[in-house]
Structure 1
Amino acid sequence: MFSVILRRSTFAAQRVWHWVGPPHRTSALSGASVGGSVSLQTCWASTARLPFSEKDVGRVKPHSFLGLDLFQKSQTHAAQLLVGSRHFHSSAVRLKKRTPPEPPPRELDLLRYDMKELWNSPKPALYLGFAGLIPFVTPTLLMAVTEIYYPELAYAQLAYSASIVSFLGGARWGFALPESSPAKPDWLNLANSVVPSLLAWVTMLMSDSIIPAVTMVIMSLGVSLHYDLALLPTYPSWFKALRSVLTTVAFFSLLGTLIINQIYEEKKIFSD
C-alpha cells in the first residue's frame, strides 16, 4: 500500500516538474510503457536532473526523505482529525454583543433642559396655550388697576381654573389610550389622570369661601404639573416646557387674587 502511494506521488511530482520547469527546456516529454512501468526521457538545456526517476521508485525506503515526510504528514493529519472531532460542536455561533455607546450626559436641572424646547412647540399649541392665560390674568389685572375686589370676577377666575385642572387630568388619560403611545393604560396612568378632576370638583364645592377655594385650586395646579413632569413616560419636552410656563403664570394670577381680597374693598358688579 505504501509503495503504491509513493509511486503515485512520484509520478505527480514528475509531471509538475515537467510543466513548471525552466523556460529554456529544449525537448518534450516522451514516455513508453515497458514491463508495466513508465519511462520518461526529458532533455534539458541545463544539466538539471529530476528529483526522482523511475529507477528511484523501487529504491525509496520509508526512512528516506520523501517517505519520512509523507509519514509525518499522515500522522499530523490524523492527529488533527482526532483533535478536531473531540472539539466539534454544532451549536450556533454567537457573536459578542457590542455595548451601545453611552448617551451624552443630561443636565441635572430637568426643567431647564426642557425649557430649551419651548419655542419648538407646535404653533397651535403655543398660541392656544398663551391665549388660555387670558381668563387667569384679566380678573387680577382689572381688580389691581381699579383697586377693588370683585367677587364675580374672582369666582369666574376660580371656575376657569377648576376646568383647566380637570382638563389636564383628562389629557393624561388621552395620552395613555393610543396603542402607539409610550404610556400604557394601566392603573398608575389612569388613576393619576382622575386625581386632578377630583380636586377640581372639591374646589367648586368650596367656592362659597374664596380663600380656601383658591388655595385648593393652586394646589391642584401644582399636583397636575408634578404629574406632567415626573410621571413616566413623560410628555414631549416642548409640552413640559409649555406647561411649566402656563402653570407659573396661572399661579401668580391666583395668588394676586388672594392678596387683592385682603387689601382692597369688596364691591359687587351686579348689585342686588
Structure 2
Amino acid sequence: MLSVALRSTIALQEVFLWARPPQRCWTSALRGASVSSSSLLDYSGQTKLSFNPLLQKTQSYNAFSLIRNQHFHSSAVRLKKRAQPQPPSRELDLVRYDMKHLWKGPKPALYLGFAGLIPFISPTLLMAVTESYYPQLAYAQVAYAASIVSFLGGARWGFALPESSPAKPDWINLANSVVPSLLAWMAMLMSDSIVPAASMVIIGLGISLHYDLSLLPTYPSWFKALRTVLSIVAFFSLLGTLLMNGFYPNKDFF
C-alpha cells in the first residue's frame, strides 16, 4: 500500500511540473535560459541530487525538464551603428571657411586681382568727388566690367580642360562658362543706355560668382574668397555709377 501511495504522489508531481509554464531566469541572461520554477539548481549552477531513492525519478525528470526548457542563442550580439553626423555644407559659408584662406593664395593672383579693381573704383570716386556724372567714364567702366565677366566665363572653361582638374569638361561646366560671355555681349549691345548695360553686367557678375561658389567642383578656398571680395567691390562701384546718373548733372569728360 505504501509503495502504491508513493507512486501516485510521484505521478501527480510529474503532471503538475509538466502543466506549469516555465519562467524566465533573468540571472542567466547571457545564455538566454528559461527554466522551470522548481528547477533544482544551486548557486554554483550544479543540479541538486537527493539520496532519497524514492525521489530519484522526480529529480531525473526535473533535470530533463530543465534541459528541455533552456534556449541557447548562438547568434552574435550586433550593435546598431549610429549614424555619423554629416559635415556642414560649405557651399556659401564663406566667413567660416574661405575668407580665412584669402591671403594664402599666390601673390601674383592677389596683386593682379586687387589691381583689377582700379578701373571699377576710379570712375565712381571721380564722379563722387566732382559731383558730376561723366557718360564717357561710365561707358568705360561698363566696358571693362563686361570684359571681366567674359574673362570669368573663360576661366571656368579653362579650369575644366586639364585632365588633372576636379572639374570635368561636361555639358554643365562648359555650358555655364559660356553664359557670362553671352551676358557681356548683350551688355555691350545696350551700351547706348548706361542703365540696362550696367544692370546686365551686374547680373553677369552675380551669375559668375554663383557658379564659382556653388557649382561643384569649385575653385580653391583662397580663389573663392578673392572672387567674393572683387565681385562685391565691382558691384557697389557699378551701383554707385547708376545712382550718380540720376542725381548729378551730366558733363563731358573730353
In which range does the TM-score fall when normalised by the shorter chain? 0.5 to 0.7
Taking the TM superposition and a 5 Å limit, the aligned residue runs for 1:1-272 are: 105-106=87-88, 110-112=93-95, 113-270=97-254
Question: Matched residues, percent identical?
Answer: 77
* Uncovered stretches (5+) of structure 2, i.e. residues with no partner: 1-80
Deviations along 1:153-180, whole A, 9 cap, x unmatched?
A: 0000000000000000000000000000
Superposed displacement of residue 105, structure 1: 3.8
SS at match of 1:233: coil
The CA distance in 2 between the partners of 1:105 and 1:218, in whole Å, is 33
The CA distance in 2 between the partners of 1:250 and 1:125, in whole Å, is 17
SS at match of 1:154: helix
- Structure 2 counterpart of 1:110, which letter? D
The CA distance in 2 between the partners of 1:186 and 1:173, in whole Å, is 10
Alignment correspondent of 1:45:
none
Superposed displacement of residue 246, structure 1: 0.2
The CA distance in 2 between the partners of 1:103 and 1:209, in whole Å, is 53
The CA distance in 2 between the partners of 1:142 and 1:104, in whole Å, is 50
The CA distance in 2 between the partners of 1:189 and 1:176, in whole Å, is 7
The CA distance in 2 between the partners of 1:131 and 1:164, in whole Å, is 13
Relative to structure 1, the CA distance from residue 115 to residue 107 in structure 2 (aligned partners, 3 Å threshold; closer, same or farther) is farther
SS at match of 1:208: coil
* Uncovered stretches (5+) of structure 1, i.e. residues with no partner: 1-98
Q: Which of these two proteins has the greater Rg computed from alpha carbons?
A: 1
Superposed displacement of residue 107, structure 1: 6.6
- Structure 2 counterpart of 1:159, which letter? A
SS at match of 2:141: helix
SS at match of 1:248: helix
TM-score (norm 2): 0.65
Relative to structure 1, the CA distance from residue 144 to residue 111 in structure 2 (aligned partners, 3 Å threshold; closer, same or farther) is same
* Count of aligned residue pairs for this structure pair: 171
Task: Identify which range, 105-114 or 253-262, moves more after superposition.
Answer: 105-114
Alignment correspondent of 1:84:
none
- Structure 2 counterpart of 1:232, which letter? L
Alignment correspondent of 2:44:
none
The CA distance in 2 between the partners of 1:173 and 1:107, in whole Å, is 25
Alignment correspondent of 2:35:
none
- Structure 1 counterpart of 2:203, which letter? M
The CA distance in 2 between the partners of 1:135 and 1:143, in whole Å, is 13
SS at match of 1:265: coil
Alignment correspondent of 1:57:
none
Deviations along 1:197-242, whole A, 9 cap, x unmatched?
A: 0000000000000011111110110000000001110000000000
SS at match of 1:136: helix
TM-score (norm 1): 0.60
